[in-house]
Amino acid sequence: MNLRQVEAFRAVMLTGQMTTAAELMSITQPAVSRLIRDLEYTTKLRLFDRRGNQINPTQEAVTLWKEVERAFVGLNRIAAVAEEIARQSAGTLRIAAMPALGNGFLPRFLARFLRDKPSLHASLSGLPSSMVIEAVAAGQADIGYADGPLDRPGFTIETRPLPGVVAIPDGHALCARQVICPDDLKGQRMISLEPGTIFAMRVEVALAGIPKLSTLETKLSHTALALVAEGAGIAIIDPTSASEFVGRGVTVRPFSIFIDAGFLAIRASGQSRSGIVDRFEKEFWDYHDQQVSPLLIRQG
Domain count, the chain: 3
Q: What is the pLDDT of residues 237-295, one digit of tens each?
A: 999 999 999 999 999 999 999 999 989 999 998 776 778 899 999 999 999 999 998 88
Report the interhelical angle of 105-114 vs 275-292 (nearest 10°). Answer: 130
Predicted model pTM: 0.66
Answer yes or no: do 173 and 247 share one domain.
Answer: yes
Average pLDDT, the chain: 86
Indicate whether 298 pLDDT > 50: no
Residue 300 pLDDT grade (very low, low, confident, very high; cuts 50, 70, 90): very low
Rounded to whole angstroms, the Cα distance separating 4 from 22 reads 12
Final residue of a domain: which of 86, 107, 134? 86
Give residue 281's pLDDT: 93
Give residue 235's pLDDT: 95
Compare 267 and 150 and report the one with higher pLDDT.
267
Give me the CATH number covering residue 99: 3.40.190.10
Residue 186 pLDDT grade (very low, low, confident, very high; cuts 50, 70, 90): very high
How large a percentage of the chain has pLDDT more than 90? 42
Compare 292 and 76 and report the one with higher pLDDT.
292
Q: Is 221 exposed, middle or buried (0-12, 13-18, 19+ CB in 10 A)?
A: buried
Q: Which of 168, 172, 292, 294 is nearest to 225 (CA)?
A: 168
Q: Which residues pair with 155 in a beta bridge?
A: 268
Q: Is residue 172 part of a domain?
A: yes
Answer yes or no: do 18 and 33 share one domain.
Answer: yes
Give me the CATH number covering residue 22: 1.10.10.10
Answer yes or no: do 60 and 206 share one domain.
Answer: no
Q: What is the pLDDT of residues 222-231, one digit of tens each?
A: 999 999 999 9
Indicate whether 82 pLDDT > 60: no
Answer yes or no: do 37 and 75 share one domain.
Answer: yes
Q: What is the pLDDT of residues 19-68, one digit of tens each?
A: 888 888 889 999 999 998 998 888 888 888 887 777 888 888 888 888 88
Answer yes or no: do 26 and 63 share one domain.
Answer: yes
Final residue of a domain: which of 86, 109, 143? 86
Domain assignment of residue 187, given as a range: 165-254
Q: What are phi and psi of 97, to 5 degrees?
A: -145, 145
Give residue 297's pLDDT: 61
Give residue 299's pLDDT: 38
